[in-house]
Amino acid sequence: MTPQRYLLAQAYNNAWANHRLLKACGELSREELDAPRVSFFPSIIHTLNHILTVDWLYISALEGNCLGSAAFDPEIPCPIFADLDREQRAADRRLIDHCRSLDEKTITEDIRIPRDTFVQVEPADRLLMHLFQHQIHHRGQVHAMLSGTCVQPPQLDEFFCKGEDQLRQQDFAELGFTEAMIWS
């Protein structure tokens, strides 16, 4: 598997995990989404918004038009779950499209991320690995917070094992994904 194919598979896996988590969170009431919980961010909706705003920052940087600190203003851009769900799915599609466009040159090109007092420069592949890890980290927090609700947390630790394609068939149909899109 080439590095480009690996990052594309990670982008699809990221979208699939977000789909599963957001589907579960969509069963919560507004009160449950907003309820104070023990985690780095104080609620499920706040944590989900953090995932989204960091996606906006890094995806815009990868696309060459970095939002910078504007990605975080406001801190919770989508207090309504339906809006958050729509925006996260759009960000996931942008990330997939970006990873699909990578080639031997662009996979290591420098990406510029304006910070408050400096411009951070990172190779694209390392920034993508950071973005995927960031999502995994905060999805895990939401997963743990779901344990304190009436909604059972979804399984998120499956990857794309060849022999388990039937287990993801319904999710993939909902997302418009096929095995061939990822592996061909």
CATH of the domain at 32: 1.20.120.450
Q: Determine whether the annotation assigns residue 98 to a binding site.
A: no
Q: What per-residue confidence (pLDDT) applies to 149?
A: 97
Q: What per-residue confidence (pLDDT) applies to 25?
A: 99
Considering the domain boundaries, does residue 43 fall inside one?
yes
What is the full per-residue pLDDT of the chain (184 aa) written as tens digits? 999 999 999 999 999 999 999 999 999 999 999 999 999 999 999 999 999 999 999 999 999 999 999 999 999 999 999 999 999 999 999 999 999 999 999 999 999 999 999 999 999 999 999 999 999 999 999 999 999 999 999 999 876 888 999 999 999 999 999 999 998 8
Angle, CA 129 vertex, CA 97 and CA 1 arms, to 5°: 70
Decide if 11 contacts 99 (C-beta within 8 A).
yes
Number of domain units in the chain: 1
Q: What per-residue confidence (pLDDT) applies to 158?
A: 74
User: Which structure tokens are listed for 57?
Assistant: 């920052």
Considering the domain boundaries, does residue 113 fall inside one?
yes
Q: Determine whether the annotation assigns residue 137 to a binding site.
A: no
For the entire predicted model, the pTM comes to 0.95
Question: What is the domain extent for residue 17?
Answer: 3-152
Put residue 116 in one of left, alpha, beta given phi > 0 → left and psi -120 to 50 → alpha.
alpha
Helix 124-146 to helix 44-62 angle, to the nearest 10 degrees?
Answer: 170
User: Which structure tokens are listed for 144?
Assistant: 């743990």
Considering the domain boundaries, does residue 170 fall inside one?
no
Separation of alpha carbons 37 and 128, rounded Å: 29
Considering the domain boundaries, does residue 158 fall inside one?
no
Considering the domain boundaries, does residue 167 fall inside one?
no
3-state helix, strand, coil in the chain (%, to 5): 65, 5, 30
Considering the domain boundaries, does residue 44 fall inside one?
yes
Q: What per-residue confidence (pLDDT) applies to 151?
A: 98
**Sequence-separated (6 or more) residues with CB below 8 Å from residue 4:** 99, 102, 103, 104, 107
Q: Determine whether the annotation assigns residue 143 to a binding site.
A: no
Considering the domain boundaries, does residue 50 fall inside one?
yes
Q: What per-residue confidence (pLDDT) applies to 95?
A: 99
Considering the domain boundaries, does residue 166 fall inside one?
no
The H or E element spanning position 48 is: helix 44-62
